[in-house]
Each structure stands twice: as C-alpha cells, then as structure tokens.
Amino acid sequence: MLLTWVFSSLLTRLVSAHWCGRFQQSALIFLLDSIDAQDERSFVAQYDSPIHYEALFSVLPREMLKEIVYAWNLNPYSLSHDLHASTNSPARFRFVQRTIQWYRNAAHTRRQVCWPSLDVIAYPFARHKDVLGTINNFLLDPLLVEDNMGFRHLDLPPGEPRDDVPICFGPDQNETRWLEQRLPLWMAIPGTPESYAQLHVIRRVVNTWGGILPRLILAMLKEKELYFCEQRARCVRNYIPGKPILPTSYTAFLDFLRRAVDRKHVFCFALGKIERSRLPDPDYYWFVSGEGQLTERERQLFGSLAEWKEDALVPAELAETTAIGGPQNLKGRFEGENYYSHRKWDQPLVDEHYPGRSGWVKVGGSSQGGSATAAEAQDKLRSGVEVEV
C-alpha cells in the first residue's frame, strides 16, 4: 500500500509538470483563414494588424489560454498588440507567416500539443524577442514529452531568444536537469580520438528539443573561427565567474557547460552585446558566442536542421538509436484527455510581480465554474470588481 501511494504521488508530480490540449476552431477562425500567408508584400499590406494576430492566438488550446492569463496576465487581445509591435523586419514577417500556416492547420485538425506549466516560465519578454516566439518554443510533441521537457514540433518555426540581456539558469531549474541528463550522451564513442560527437550531429539533436535553452545552446555550437568577442568587458578563455567566457571551440564550450552543471553553478548566455547595467551577477558564469543567429553562410556550412522523415514520430537521425541526447522513452508521459482536471486555480501564483494581479478578487469554485460560482462572479462584476474564477 505504501509503495502504491509513493508511486502514485511521483506520477502525479511528473504529469502535473506539463499540460496538454488541442488547438481549437475559435469564433475568429474565419479571420485566420483569410490571411495570405504566402506573399510577404500582401501580408504586410493587409494582415499585419492586431485583429488578425488576435485570431492567430485565439486558436491556441483553451487551457493554454487560461494558463497564459493566469501566469502572464495576457489574453489574445493583449498578445496580438504585443506581437504587432514587434513585427518590424522581413525576417519577423516570414516567421509570423510560417506560424500562421501551422496554427491554421492545427486548428482545423484539432492538433494535440503539450506545454510546460507557465507558472515557472519567465514573462515572455524577459527571454524572447516576441510573445509568439515564446509560445512556439514551448509547444511540445505530446508523444515525446517527459515531465515538462520534450521534442518540439519541427515544422513550427522556433522563437528567437533575446540577444541584449544575459539569460541565466540555476542548478534547480528543469532545463538544467534536462541538460545534466543529455550532456553525457553527446560524448563521442569510447576509443575514438574526439571527446564529443561531431558538431552537426549534436546541433541536429539539440534542435529537436523544445524550450529556450536548446536555442541558446545552438547559438553557441559552431566552428571555432566563428566565435568572437563583442562585449564591453574583456573576454576570457578560462572558466572564470563574472567575466564573459569566449570558448575556443564547441568542444571547449561543452566542457565549460559540463563543469557548470556538475558544480551546480549558475550559468548564463549572452548572444549579443550586453549593457553594463544588465551584466550578470559577478558569481555567475556567462558564455558569449559573438552573435545570436546563424548567417546564411553558416547555415550552408552546418547543413539543414530539418531533414526529417515524412510523418515520422522521431527525427531521421534518431530513427535507429536514441543516443546523443534523444529521449530514452519515446512514448513519454501523456494523458490524452488532460484538460486541467487537477488544476487548482484558486492557488496563489508563485511570482506575484506580473501587472494586474493585485486588483483581482478570488471567487470560490473551480475553473469549470458552477451556478453558484457564476452568480457570485456576476454580482461582483456588476459592482465593478475585477474577478478571477
């Protein structure tokens, strides 16, 4: 009996770390269907507007939208205005167009996705360049999700991390625990002169994982002649806290990263030039690469990152083996009809620093609501009180 209780408690803890749901055909799906996501000039002229972006966000799984309001105090309306303010370059427009195509198809097919609990994820602008990139990076494949990490959808364009702030990870964060498990799998086969697998192999494996940490690691994994220092402080080649660490190669970077994980150090990534007011804590170890995104020449050098089998559940490179960082259990932990049945919405948020939460009045009841709960909420709303149900 005790063993059964312990196993049940552990399973509940693991499952509750991520949520799953289906894309939906919202009332604004007709607007999403009307967008020309092929021609860039037509898109900018007619559809680069908050109302069309609101339609884009409205098809996200209903429980994900509730989680976004709960954790970030944002809804499709506010998300759309934030996205419209950040689409200011041809590259950003292409990113949005490709995402629109994916979301539209996902809505019509009621595609199932999973995402990590947003309570412990930083406010979208803290680490990403836009809100759409934040959401894209945390949409995980339900067949390959473990705890709140897993494979991303490879045909969905990933979001870009910010390159003007250091992005840091502590030893207790889930991303760090994921990295601790995967780093040994990127080692080369014993008996070979290399210490790690080849660069393009590691890159393709890292690219399959969702979340922001894999995007940052990808920016650091490149040929040695492509690293350069562009910080206002002098870069160092050794593992020293408080200084920008510029690796001499991708293997040196992985050595430093393993040391940070093994020693439980806080480590950071700086993909661009950091202002002095935003420098990491002097006790942190921060890595710099010289730039955040690959150039076209580098993309040709590394080859395509999306050479996958049609309709395959796993990348082509991982079809025969799950070494060098692939998930060890391809089935994952997933509940097909998980619609937040065990989500306790009346619990206080972990971080109360997000705007707009202080004026909310809690109303008893579940997220599903009920007649008494609805009546109480309506009475408070009529009196001008903002209500959280």
Compute CA distances 343 → 12, 62, 66, 166, 254, whole Å.
Answer: 12, 14, 11, 33, 38
Give pLDDT, residue 344. Answer: 43
**Beta strand spans in 15-74 (E):** 18-22
Statement: residue 367 has pLDDT above 70:
no
Per-residue confidence band for 7, with pLDDT thresholds at 50, 70 and 90? very low
**What's the average model confidence in pLDDT over 76-81?**
94
Q: What is the mean pLDDT of residues 23-37?
A: 93
**Residues 287, 179: one domain?**
yes
Residue 266 has pLDDT above 50, yes or no: yes
Highest mean pLDDT: which range of 75-89, 93-107, 313-327, 363-377: 93-107
Same structural domain, 30 and 154? yes
pLDDT, residue 285, reads 94
Q: Residue 267 and residue 280: Cα distance in Å, rounded?
A: 9
Single out the residue in 273, 307, 341 at which a domain terminates: 307
Chain centroid to CA 188: 28
Q: What is the pLDDT of residue 178?
A: 86
Same domain, 289 and 183: yes
Mean pLDDT of 85-97: 87
Contact 120, 129 (CB under 8 A): no
191 with 214, same domain? yes
Determine if the pTM surpasses 0.75: no
Q: Examine residue 263 and state whether it is found in any structural domain, yes or no.
A: yes
CA distance 164 to 152: 25
Regarding whether 149 and 21 lie in a shared domain, the answer is: yes
Domain identity same for 151 and 205 = no
Residue 155 lies in a domain: yes
Q: Is 201 helix (H, G, I), strand (E, B) or coil?
A: helix
Checking if the pLDDT of 108 tops 50, the result is: yes
DSSP letter assigned to residue 380 = H
**Residue 176 pLDDT greater than 50, yes or no:** yes
For 41, the enclosing helix (H) or strand (E) is helix 40-46
Q: Residue 251 falls within a domain, yes or no?
A: yes
Residue 172 and residue 152 share a domain: no
Residue 351, in any domain of the structure:
no
Whether 35 and 140 share a structural domain:
yes
Question: Do both 93 and 213 map to the same domain?
Answer: no
User: Tell me, what's the pLDDT at 261?
Assistant: 95
Instruction: Classify residue 11: in a domain, yes or no.
Output: no
Q: E strands of the chain, at which residues?
A: 18-22, 112-116, 140-146, 149-152, 167-169, 244-245, 267-270, 285-288, 361-362, 387-388
Which of 160, 186, 212 delimits the end of a domain?
160
Domain that includes residue 368, residue range: 358-388
Reported as a pLDDT band with limits 50, 70 and 90, residue 149 is: confident
Residue 8 lies in a domain: no
Between CA 144 and CA 154 the distance in angstroms is 12
Q: Is the pLDDT of residue 34 over 60?
A: yes
pLDDT of residue 74: 92
- Give me the pLDDT at residue 260, please: 96
Least confident interval from 208-217, 277-286, 363-372: 363-372
Confidence band of 194 (pLDDT split at 50, 70, 90): confident
pLDDT, position 3: 39
Q: Are residues 147 and 180 in the same domain?
A: no
pLDDT tens sequence across 294-336: 444 444 444 334 333 333 333 333 333 333 332 323 333 333 3
Give me the number of domains the chain comprises: 3
Residues 156 and 218 both lie in one domain: no
Mean per-residue pLDDT, 171-175: 87
Same domain, 134 and 210: no
pLDDT band at 142, cuts 50/70/90? Answer: confident
**Residue 276 within a domain:** yes
Counting residues of the chain whose pLDDT is more than 70, the rounded percentage is 68
| 216 has pLDDT over 90 | yes
Strand, helix or coil at 214?
helix
